[in-house]
Amino acid sequence: MKRYQQKQTFFFAPIWLWLGLGLLFLSACTSSFSFAIEDSFDAATLTPIPTNAPVTPTPVPGGAAEVGQTFYKAWENGDLLGMYSLLSPQSQALIDRDLFQNRYRVAMQAATVQGVRIQPLAAKQEGATAVLDVQVTWNTAVFGDIVRPHSANLIFQEGRWGIVWDESLIMPELIGGNRLLMDYRAPARANIYDKTGNALAYQGDVILFGIVPGRIEDEAGLLATISPLLGQSPEQLREKYATADPNWYVPLGQITRQVMEENYAVIEPFIGAGLTADARLSRIYTGVAPHLVGYLGRIPPELAAEYASRGYTEEALIGLTGIEAWGENYLSGQRGGTLTVVDNTGRYVKTVAETEPRQARSIYTTFDVAFQAQVEQILAESIESHPLAGAGAAVVLDVNTGDVLAIASYPSYDPNSFDQTRPTAGETTAALFNDNRRPLINRAVQGEYPAGSVFKLVTMIAATRSGLYNPNTSYTSTGTWDKLGPTAVKTDWRTGGHGTVSLRGALVVSCNTCFYDAAYNMDLEDPNHFSAVARELGFGSSTDIRGVRDTAGLIPDPEWKLANTAEGGWVTGDAVNMGIGQGYVLVTPLQIAQLTAAIANNGTMIQPNLIDRIGSGGGAPEEVLPRGTQKPLPTDENTLQAIRDALRDVAGSTNGTANFVFDGFPVPVAGKTGTAQTAQPMPHAWFTGYAPAEPYTTLAGETITEPEIAVVVLIENAGEGSEVAAPVVRRIIAAYYGLE
C-alpha cells in the first residue's frame, strides 16, 4: 500500500466620551437641557431629543451622565452586579440583585448573545430626572446582530442618581414581564473520513434490540440469533431480563442498519415474538483510529455557559476528544432557530429573529483507513503475543509533509461505548474510565516516557552545536565511566566497552559512556546549552499537531530543577543522565517521530498534521488545509549527514544494534534503538527509523530514491528496543510497501 475556547468579546464606548457627558450634566444650570452625543467610533451626527420645556435655571445635584454611562459600560463588560448597584433605591426595592442578574443572563443566553455593544445617541435632563438614549447591539452566535434602541430613565434619590429599571432595559419587547424563547434547529453532524473518503465516524441509523419476556415464543432460537450480532453470550442476554416483569421492556443492545439488513431474514421471525427492533439516528464509529477520531459526550459543566452562548442546548453532544473535539466548529455546523417573545403565560407575542441552520462540514484525515488498521493490528498482535508487554504506541509520518499516515495506541477502545442511548453505555464507559491499563490515553501523543538511547540523536546534535565536538571526535570506551566520582561510576551496556569510537560510531553501537562524556563536557561549558538545543528540536513543548491534542513532555534545566524539585540545584549528573535520555527527560513518541522525519528529509522540522481537508458545506467550498510550519534543524550539514549514515549502519551494518532485525529485509532502513530504564523491573523498548534509507524498487517496479516515511514504536516495560520494538517497525514498513 502506498504510501478550539471561545471567550466573550465585549465592545467599549470610549471612557472620555462618557466622562464628558458627566461634566456636561454637572455643569447644567437650567431646568431643562438637551444635547446630542457624537459616537467616537463612526463620528455619526446625532439629533438632540427635542424638548418644549421652558429653560429655567435650577441647581441640579450632578452625576446623571456618569451613572448612565457606567450602567451601560458595565453591561459591555458583563458586570451585571455593577449594573445592579447603579439602580435607583426604588428599583432596587422592587427587584433583588440575584433576580436582576438572572433576568439578564436568561435573556442573553436564549438569544445566544456573545457580546454587547453600546452606541450613545442623546440625553435630556430635567431637574432631578434625566433620560439617556442609546442603541444596544447584541452580537449573537445564531442570528448575528440584534439591534434595539433603549431609553434609560434616571432619577435623583437619596443623594445620588440611579437607573429607573424595568425589563425594557434588557430588550424593549420584554416590558411587562415578557421573556425570550429560543427554538433551536441544529444541522446534522458532519462525518469524519479518511483521506480517500472512507467513513470513520458518521450519522446513521442503528437498530435497538429490546425484549419483552412474557412474549418470548422461542427463547433458545431468539438468543442464538441475536447473540453473535450483539457480541454477548446467550447467558449474558438472559441475565438482563431474568428478574423482569413479563410485560416489561428490557433493552439488550444495538446493531447498525447494515447489519440488520444483512441478517433480516433470520431476525424477522422473532420480531413481535418477544423481540423488538427500533431504528434511531446515532453517531456511528467504524472502530478504526479511535484515539484519533475521538468521541462525543455531554457538555462539561465548566463549559456550559460558553456553549450556550454559541447556540448549544443543554442536551447537545459535543466532541470531547480527538478530531471530534478539534473539528467541533466544522462538524456541528451553524445552528439556526427562531427567537420569539412570549408573555408571562407563555403565549406568543412576536418573533424577534429567525435564521436557518447552516450545513456542517465533513473532515478528511491524512491517513488511509486500511493502512491505519494494519498498524493497529500489528501493534496489538506484537503486544498481546509478548509475555511482558501490555501497552504501547506507533507513529508513522510522511517525512516530507508531516502528514500522519498512522497513529496507533494500545490498549484501545470502542468509541461507540460513549453513546449514552446504548443499553450498556453506563457499564462500558465506567469500565473504560476505571481500567488501570488506561485504554483511553493516546500513548502516541499523550504518553510521556523516558527516551533512552533514541535521545542520543539529540545529544549528538547538541554536542556538535557546542563546538566541543564534531562527528569524528574520538572517545575510548572501556566499559566504565567515573568522572562523577568513585561513588557514581557508570557502565556501558557492553562489558569491556566498545574501544575507541568516533561520535558517529558511538551512535551506531549506542555507546552509553561516550554520550555520558559528551553531556558532561557540555555541562561544564554551559549548563543550559544541552537543554536549549533539545527544546529547539521540539522537545519540552507541544508539536502543535493539527487534529488532536498532544502533551509537551519535559526537558529539565537548572531553573526548572530549582523550581520543581526538592533536590536542590542542578548538578552535572543531571546533564549526564540526560545524555542517554534518562533522568528527568520525558518525551512522546510523536516528538521522536517528528525529529526522525526531519533527519530523513535532510533537516526540516515540520509540524505534524492529521487533517487533509475540510469538506464543502454552508456555502463554503472544499478547503485543502496548508501543511504545517517548517523550520531547519539546528545543526550543520556535516553533522546531519553523519547522523544519517550512522542510523543506516544501525540497521544495515554488522556492528549496528538492530542489524539482526533488518538483515535480509528488502527495504533499506535507517534507525536507532532505545532501551529506557523506568521504576519497573523491565525497561521501555524504543525504535525509531525511516525508509527507504537508500534507493528502493517497489514490487510495482517504482524506484524510490529518497526517504518517505518515519516510523516510531514504543512498547512499555517489555525489554530491549532492538529485540522488542525494532521487529514491530519492520512489520509496519513491510505493510506500507505491500510486503509479506
Distance set, CA 26 to CA 29, 227, 483, 705 (Å): 8, 83, 81, 83
Over residues 382-413, the pLDDT tens digits come to 999 999 999 999 999 999 999 999 999 999 98
Cα 505 to Cα 328, 497, 659, 661, 676: the distances in Å are 49, 13, 15, 19, 21
| Interatomic CA distance for residues 186 and 617, integer angstroms | 14
Is the pLDDT reported for residue 195 higher than 60?
yes
Taking residues 78-99, what's their average pLDDT? 95
Phi (first) and psi of residue 87, to 5 degrees: -70, 155
Percent of the chain residues topping a pLDDT of 70:
91
> In the structure, what pLDDT confidence band is assigned to residue 21 with cuts at 50, 70 and 90?
very low
Burial of 514 (0-12, 13-18, 19+ CB in 10 A): buried
How far apart CA 432 and CA 453 sit, in angstroms, is: 33
Q: How far apart are CA 47 and CA 133, in angstroms?
A: 11
Q: CA triplet 457, 460, 462: central angle to 5 degrees?
A: 110
What is the spatial distance between Cα 670 and Cα 655, in angstroms, rounded to a whole number?
14
Q: Which residue has the cell 415464543?
A: 217
Of 32-46, 396-410, 428-442, which has the strongest mean pLDDT? Answer: 396-410
Stretch 18-36: mean pLDDT, rounded? 34
**How many whole angstroms separate alpha carbon 214 and alpha carbon 302?**
45
Least confident of 51-60, 113-122, 517-526: 51-60
Strand order, beta sheet including 336-342: 179-185, 336-342, 348-355
15-24, 119-128, 140-149, 565-574: lowest mean pLDDT where? 15-24
Q: Is residue 393 within a helix (H) or strand (E), and if so which, with residue range?
A: strand 392-398
pLDDT, the chain, mean: 88
Please tell me the predicted confidence (pLDDT) of residue 22: 39
Q: What is the pLDDT of residue 425?
A: 66
Q: 254, 277 in Cβ contact below 8 A?
A: no
What integer pLDDT is reported at residue 422 of this predicted model? 66
Q: Look up residue 114 and give its DSSP letter.
A: E
Per-residue model confidence as pLDDT tens digits over 294-322: 999 989 999 988 888 888 888 889 999 99
Mean pLDDT (whole number) for 272-278: 91
- What does the pLDDT read at residue 89? 95
pLDDT at residue 125, as a whole number: 87
Average pLDDT over residues 419-424: 67
Confirm if 466 and 522 have CB atoms less than 8 A apart.
yes
| pLDDT of 5 | 35
The span from the CA of 609 to the CA of 629, in Å, is: 10
Contact 375/735 with Cβ under 8 angstroms?
yes
Is residue 453 predicted with pLDDT exceeding 90? Answer: yes
Kindly list the distances between the CA atom of residue 702 and the CA atoms of 3, 487, 600, 697, 740, in Å, as whole numbers in the listed order. Answer: 12, 58, 20, 5, 18
Distances (CA, A) of 376 to 411, 458, 740: 10, 28, 17
C-alpha span between 268 and 467 (Å, rounded): 78
In this prediction, what percent of the chain has a pLDDT beyond 90? 74
CB-based burial, 332-346: b 16+ in 10 Å, e otherwise? bbbbbbbbbbeeeee
Please write the tens of the pLDDT for every residue from 331-385.
999 889 999 999 988 999 999 999 988 899 999 999 999 999 999 999 999 999 9
Rounded Cα distance between 611 and 615, Å, is: 11
**Per-residue burial over 591-618, b = 16 or more CB atoms within 10 Å of its CB, e = otherwise:** bbbbbbbbbbbbbbbbbbbbbbbbbebe
Residue the block writes with cell 427562531: 338
pTM for the predicted model, two decimal places: 0.80
